[in-house]
Amino acid sequence: MEAALARLLPPAHAAPARLHEAMRYATLEGGKRVRPLLAFAAGEVSGAAPERLELAAAAVELIHAYSLVHDDLPCMDADVLRRGKPTVHVEYDEATAMLAGDALQSLAFQALAENELADAPRRQLEMVKMLAAAAGSRGMAGGQQIDLEATGAVLSLPELEFMHIHKTGALIRAAVLLGFWCGEKVSEKIQDQLDRYAKAVGLAFQVVDDVLDHDASTATLGKTAGKDAKQGKPTYVSLLGLAPAREMAEDLRAEAHAALDGLGERAERLRQLADFVVLRKF
């Protein structure tokens, strides 16, 4: 993934060098790469070619990197540490960080559109459309808006879930479906199974993120820990308490595994990733 991203990103010395440097700084050498791993694992279910998966996975990671750059800006979460390094606006400046995020998002769609990722052009168009919807106002960006408005508010459990299905879940679901769609067309039933898996893993990811924000150190996370409580953000931990939040993550792990029933060996990586998402310590 690292090599594919390094190839896709414009060279640091190409003009405008400061922008390209910032894009590479935001994307390379950091992060768990959970979304690319999910795309690759989903591609194993549909027998997708690695060259296709590489691009689909990179496109999702570029959108993710853009969202982190913008999320860290002073007008949003105002954070100074990300992936163990100063955030992009701290290392460069605010305007460059905004533009780097914008350009990362554009690059994601360029990567999806300019290479053959599916057997039928119609299907590839669906992939582009799906990622656009997942990143947009009815997906991640919409979830971020809800998050901004929720700071200091008390949300009900369904409201919290609605926010996270959009903010975090939409892109995780897109990673799974994009990887899957790079391969052979398989039955609707299997596609539904993967969708169910992706939804469970997407929500589990966020529940665990909330637990870790409460539980883990800044050094382990590579980003500022304990921020949710400080900023008065509703989380699964603030709403349910620590032990029930952990239980909820476990239930979602079981749901993710159950969704893959009958898929055998080819879904093994997806099972391992559901475990990683829930059991991770960072």
Distance from the first to the final alpha carbon of the chain: 20
Burial pattern 84-119, b for ≥16 Cβ within 10 A else e, equals ebebbbbbbeeebbbbbbebbbebbbebbeeeebbe
Check binding of 140 to ligand GRG (CB under 6 A): yes
CB-based contacts of 96, cutoff 8 Å, min separation 6 = 18, 19, 22, 88, 89
Using the minimum distance from each CB to ligand GRG, give the nearer residue, 118 or 131.
131
Using the minimum distance from each CB to ligand GRG, give the nearer residue, 120 or 219.
219
CB-based contacts of 134, cutoff 8 Å, min separation 6 = 63, 140, 170, 171, 173, 174
Minimum Å distance from CB 52 to ligand GRG?
A: 22
Check binding of 246 to ligand GRG (CB under 6 A): no
- From 46, 67, 96, 124, residue interacting with ligand GRG (rule: CB under 6 A): 67
User: Helices 121-135 and 170-181 sit at what angle, rounded to 10 degrees?
Assistant: 170
Using the minimum distance from each CB to ligand GRG, give the nearer residue, 194 or 211.
211
Check binding of 160 to ligand GRG (CB under 6 A): no
Check binding of 105 to ligand GRG (CB under 6 A): no
Q: Which stretch binds ligand GRG (CB under 6 A): 15-23, 61-69, 155-163, 247-255?
A: 61-69
- From 96, 168, 193, 238, residue interacting with ligand GRG (rule: CB under 6 A): 168
Using the minimum distance from each CB to ligand GRG, give the nearer residue, 70 or 199.
70
Q: Which of residues 177-216 bind ligand GRG (CB under 6 A)?
A: 206, 209
Check binding of 89 to ligand GRG (CB under 6 A): no
* Residue carrying structure tokens 């901004």: 148
Instruction: Burial-class residue 158 by CB neighbours within 10 Å (0-12, 13-18, 19+).
Output: exposed
Check binding of 71 to ligand GRG (CB under 6 A): yes
- From 9, 19, 23, 34, residue interacting with ligand GRG (rule: CB under 6 A): 34
Do 208 and 271 touch, CB atoms closer than 8 A?
Answer: no
Do 30 and 85 touch, CB atoms closer than 8 A?
Answer: yes
Which spans of this chain sit near ligand GRG (rule: CB under 6 A)? 31-32, 34, 64, 67-68, 70-71, 83, 140-141, 144, 167-168, 206, 209
